Amino acid sequence: MATEFDSLPLFAPQPEPTPEEEGHRAAAHKWMDEHPDGMRLFEEMAMQAASRGRRFGAKALAERIRWEFNITRNETDFKVNNSYVSWIARELIRRHPHLSAFIELRRTRDEAA
């Protein structure tokens, strides 16, 4: 039995990325290059979470890392932009493909084009 929803596309067309969004990927990779200690923590925490056999969010890792740098190490100048987290997650999976079973990725607006 057909319904009125049968003809609707599963995914709505994506708008063109803004200049700001187009720069997120490049900025994220620059951040990763400039903050090897931060990336090392992302990797360590991702591996720790994966070893428990449970899925986790990259945003949760980012919050733990902020805590580690800002509270534990008292390095208040350390920043990780939320716009970079999805690109960091992709880099973690590129480096450690088995993490794809634990980190859920969604398409970014940059990838939709």
The structural domains of the chain, with segments of one domain joined by +, span 20-107
Local mean pLDDT, 10-residue blocks, the chain (113 residues) = 49 57 84 90 93 92 85 73 90 94 73 49
Give the count of beta carbons closer than 10 Å to the beta carbon of residue 12: 7
Taking phi over 0 as left and psi of -120 to 50 as alpha, with beta for the rest, 58 belongs to alpha
* Confidence (pLDDT) at 45: 92
For tokens 């990336």, what's the residue? 39
Confidence at residue 108, expressed as pLDDT on a 0 to 100 scale: 55
The pTM of this model reads 0.71
The predicted pLDDT at position 21 comes to: 64
